[in-house]
Amino acid sequence: MEIKTVGVIGAGQMGNGIAHVMAVAGYEVLLNDISADNLTKAVALIDRNLDRQVQREKISAATKADAMARIQTTTTLTDLGPTDLVIEAATERETVKIAIFEDLLPHLKPNTILTSNTSSISITKLASRTDRPEKFMGFHFMNPVPVMQLVELIRGIATDEATYLACLSVVEKLGKTAASAEDFPAFIVNRILMPMINEAVYTLYEGVGSVKSIDESMKLGANHPMGPLELADFIGLDTCLAIMNVLHDGLADTKYRPCPLLTKYVEAGWLGRKTQRGFYDYRGETPVPTR
């Protein structure tokens, strides 16, 4: 099946990035969100990010203009029915995702491929709530989408080979690299990354090191581009906690128990960069550790 039109559900951090790269690659994109304001902000952000790519000579001004012309928006979910590929990038909550797919199903073409950008929720479980589990898979982009080169492709138990190959061809057209993952909690990247972040929070919680010393140790001692606590703030502490809970519940191993300090920060609403406070306070000119 040749994919020409892509529906993206959710105009947040991930959704706008997915719409951006799809439009640059030549796909017609229909971006959906429940908020018209979110859609306006997303299109403005895509425009700014494309401008940055033009300034850095990553793309031409003509490519930018063509990409912007390919992006349409709608607050009506069912408008995505005629698209060839749907990528759901809504809130990382299973109930929300299931409700979205259930609302969309009656309006889809028979051959439309459904995918989720979920970072941890079972693809098999989501697929089972649709009328096309064989045409359903995980399509997990990394953040920020225009910059990061990896896409995890996750097959559910029922996903057929044609669906996988169609999604693989999209990843290749985007100029990105696909990593095939089996459908187990948190897949590959987050299965490895989140326990490291959680362990960094435990290291802080137990007083082994400060925020600054932990991040500097991993940047200078392990050559990581960002420290784990800085990275957690970038991802969102609520997202980190949600993924740790999926790992803990899905694998029933105490090594995945979320650190109580991570839970406390989320309860306080200190979710990282998006709320201006997390392991760092971002309200001033330079980030300041909060512990």
Residue 274 annotated as lining a ligand binding site? yes
Residue 248 token pair: 């803990």
Residue 15 annotated as lining a ligand binding site? yes
Q: Is 134 a catalytic residue?
A: no
Residue 213 annotated as lining a ligand binding site? no
- What is the DSSP track for 202-234? HHHHTTSS-HHHHHHHHHHHS--SS-HHHHHHH
CA contacts within 13 A on the Cβ side of 69: 7
Q: Residue-wise over 189-206: b if at least 16 C-beta within 10 A, else e? A: bbbebbbebbebbbbbee
Active-site residue, selected from the candidate residues 32, 116, 190, 198: 190
Q: Is 152 a catalytic residue?
A: yes
Residue 125 annotated as lining a ligand binding site? no
Residue 111 annotated as lining a ligand binding site? no
Residue 37 annotated as lining a ligand binding site? no
Which residue type, as a one-letter code, is found at position 238? D
Residue 236 annotated as lining a ligand binding site? no
Residue 220 token pair: 């200078």
Residue 119 annotated as lining a ligand binding site? yes
Residue 173 annotated as lining a ligand binding site? no
**Residue 181 · residue 154 · CB < 8 Å:** yes
Active-site residue, selected from the candidate residues 116, 140, 198, 230: 140
Task: Tell me the C-alpha distance between 87 and 90, whole Å.
Answer: 9
Task: Tell me the C-alpha distance between 161 and 138, whole Å.
Answer: 14
**Residue 211 — left, alpha, or beta (φ > 0 → left; ψ -120 to 50 → alpha)?**
alpha
Residue 200's contacts (CB-CB under 8 Å, 6 or more residues apart) are 214, 218, 227, 228, 229, 232
Residue 14 annotated as lining a ligand binding site? yes
Task: Tell me the C-alpha distance between 7 and 28, whole Å.
Answer: 9
Residue 44 token pair: 């403005």
Residue 289: cis peptide before it, omega within 30 degrees of 0: no
Q: Is 128 a catalytic residue?
A: no
Q: Is 116 a catalytic residue?
A: no
Residue 11 annotated as lining a ligand binding site? yes
Residue 12 annotated as lining a ligand binding site? yes
Active-site residue, selected from the candidate residues 49, 116, 117, 119: 119
Active-site residue, selected from the candidate residues 32, 88, 122, 152: 152
Binding residues for NAD(+) are 10-15, 33, 92, 97, 119, 143, 274
Binding residues are 10-15, 33, 92, 97, 119, 143, 274
Any idea which residues carry the catalytic annotation? 119, 140, 152, 190
